[in-house]
Structure 1
Amino acid sequence: MKYIKTKRLIMRDWKQSDIPEFVKMNKDRDVRRYFPNVLSAEESEKIAVEIQKDIEDRGFGLFAVERRDTGEFIGFTGMQVLEEDGPFRLEILPCIEIGWRLAKRHWNQGFATEAARGVLKFAERHTDIKEVYALAAKRNAPSISIMEKVGMKKVDEFDHPQIIDGHSLKKHVIYIIELEKRRRFSL
């Protein structure tokens, strides 16, 4: 099991018991409002298996997030590799992307920001990752706020290739944090 601990959270490997809540999260239209659609139970289950495999293969991934006070699964936060052969044709690829998704009842409590800071500290201390990116729909103000709170800076915008022209989610932003610089300043 991989663990990243913060004051209130544990980021860890996924458990079978996390899946029902993950399925429920991905069916919630509010949780998925900055994505083109909600996910079926089968899609969510497949994603959870793929996420855990990434953690096992790479030593990092989109970790399950658990509250320390209740032991409750509340979503995920972590890093994933965006490959050049994926849906994006961006100059930054391949790259490491940080991401998060929490169940609605855990919003507005600082959990996503705390988890993102924990993941970045993990990457800084335990990997040789030089920079981490974040991508989000331009209108996704909550995620952009988290990016800025953890020290990320906006570097670009792009049109998401899998979203139809004219859709309000078409325009995306790209943020970056340079871990190499943070390492140098912390020596």
Structure 2
Amino acid sequence: MDGKPLFESDRLVFSTWTPDQLEDVFRLHDDEDVGRYLLGRRETREDAQARMNEWAKNYARFGFCKFRLIRKSDGAFVGRAGFGVHGPQNTPELGYAILRSEWRKGYAKEAAVAIRDWLFRETDHDFCWGFAYTANAPSIHILRSIGMVFTHTETEEETGKELTFHKYTREMWRG
């Protein structure tokens, strides 16, 4: 990945990552309130590096990843949003994380809408998943507010926590 800007929303620029941006990933995921809804804990620099490696691999293989989010107005790092892969079919999984200092400014929803639209505009995928820990009510609210439909819950093997799954299809996007 080369860090080049790929697309924009009203207030955000979406790009790939460069190795020197590891500290941004660490700062985002080291926050206790962010980390508890990702790995269930604050994350280490090693965790951040593993995430960046996974994102680079996904981008090379699938053409998507969890993109870096930069605020247009001042170039500040805001968080990340994009797609991971889920299940044996490598289905795109919509996800986002925003710096706590940037919460309640609408960036998560703006980013979720932008990546959802990007997926159906730029790829041939027929649907994507979005899921969050059932206890993460704000994230579930965002998934539903962008039109995703609840499908089921599953218990995560690693943590024993319940995940709430939502789905969005190309047909839904076409309206």
Q: Normalized against structure 1, the TM-score is what?
A: 0.85
2:34 is paired with a residue whose SS is: coil
Q: Which of the numbers 7, 11, 22 marks the counterpart of 2:10?
A: 7
Structure 2: how far apart are the matches of 1:21 and 1:126?
27
Matched, 1:161 2:139: no
Q: Which of the numbers 125, 128, 139 marks the counterpart of 1:129?
A: 125
The answer on whether the counterparts of 2:5 and 2:13 sit within 8 Å (CA) in structure 1 is: no
Using a 3 Å threshold, how does the CA distance of structure 1 residues 178 and 46 change in structure 2: closer, same or farther?
Answer: same
What aligned pairs does 1:97-176 form with structure 2 within 5 A after superposition? 97-164=93-160, 170-176=161-167
Q: Structure 1 runs of 4+ off > 4 angstroms?
A: none
2:32 is paired with a residue whose SS is: coil
Structure 2: how far apart are the matches of 1:181 and 1:136?
21
Give the aligned length. 171
Query: Could you tell which deviates more after superposition, 138-147 or 155-164?
Result: 155-164
The answer on whether the counterparts of 1:158 and 1:172 sit within 8 Å (CA) in structure 2 is: yes
Alignment-derived partner of residue 28 in structure 2: 25
Q: Report the AA paired with residue 3 of structure 1.
A: L
Structure 1: how far apart are the matches of 2:171 and 2:65?
20
Matched, 1:41 2:37: no
Query: Could you tell which deviates more after superposition, 142-151 or 46-55?
Result: 46-55
Relative contact order, higher structure (CA 8 A, sep 6+): 1
Structure 1: how far apart are the matches of 2:58 and 2:76?
22
**Greater C-alpha radius of gyration:** 1
Structure 1 spans left out of the alignment, 5+ residues: 85-92, 165-169
Report the alpha carbon displacement of residue 181 of structure 1 after superposing the two structures with TM.
3.6
Query: Could you tell which deviates more after superposition, 2-11 or 50-59?
Result: 50-59
1:129 is paired with a residue whose SS is: coil
Calculate the aligned-residue CA RMSD, in Å: 1.6
Report the alpha carbon displacement of residue 2 of structure 1 after superposing the two structures with TM.
5.0
In percent, how many aligned pairs have the same letter? Answer: 25
Q: Which of the numbers 51, 56, 67 marks the counterpart of 1:52?
A: 56
